[in-house]
Amino acid sequence: MHTIGTLARRTGTKVQTIRYYEQIGLMPEPGRTEGGQRRYGDVDLDRLAFIRHSRQLGFPLEAIRELLDLSDHPARDCGAADSIARRQLREVETRIARLQALRSELERMIGECRGGTASECRVLEVLRDHSECLADDHDAID
């Protein structure tokens, strides 16, 4: 039997985060002591580790919910897990591409800055210059 603090320490999770996972139904309600403190078994430790590892790979909590559900039903088809992972991979790839574009624009902006006062600043000028930006909606942002 583990306390919530032990689970936290062993998985690198904050205590409040574990309670939060319980609240949203990702972690089960554990048994309690007479005094009302949570006591966990090894199964719970494994489940929390699964959640944290998935989070480290960037899976959103809703995806983790599905993955846990599959993990709880070993007879089901693996395809669903595979497609969740592929979706996540696509998501990561999209973000990388977007960030690489941002990186180029930032590099260009910084590379052109020759110092001086704010009025001469190339960085501010680029940001002000909405010629290619106004009215046509890019997405980007994050």
Rule CB under 8 A: is residue 34 a binding residue for a copy of itself?
no
Query: 64 exposed, middle or buried (CB, 10 Å; 0-12, 13-18, 19+)?
Result: buried
* 46, 62, 69, 107: which one binds DNA (CB under 7 A): 62
Angle, CA 13 vertex, CA 8 and CA 19 arms, to 5°: 75
User: Of these partners, DNA, a copy of itself, none, which one is at the site of residue 65 (CB under 5 to 8 Å by kind)?
Assistant: none
Cα(11)–Cα(8) distance, integer angstroms? 5
Cα(4)–Cα(141) distance, integer angstroms? 37
Rule CB under 8 A: is residue 108 a binding residue for a copy of itself?
no
18 and 52 in contact (C-beta within 8 Å)?
no
Site for a copy of itself in 115-134 (CB under 8 A): 115-121, 123-124, 126-130, 133-134
Window of 7-15, 71-79, 99-107, 128-136 that interacts with DNA by CB under 7 A: 7-15
Cα(48)–Cα(77) distance, integer angstroms? 23
Residues engaged in binding a copy of itself (CB under 8 A)? 9-12, 46, 49-50, 52-58, 67, 70-71, 73-79, 81-82, 84-86, 88-89, 92-93, 95-96, 99-100, 102-103, 105-107, 109-110, 113, 115-121, 123-124, 126-130, 133-138, 140-142
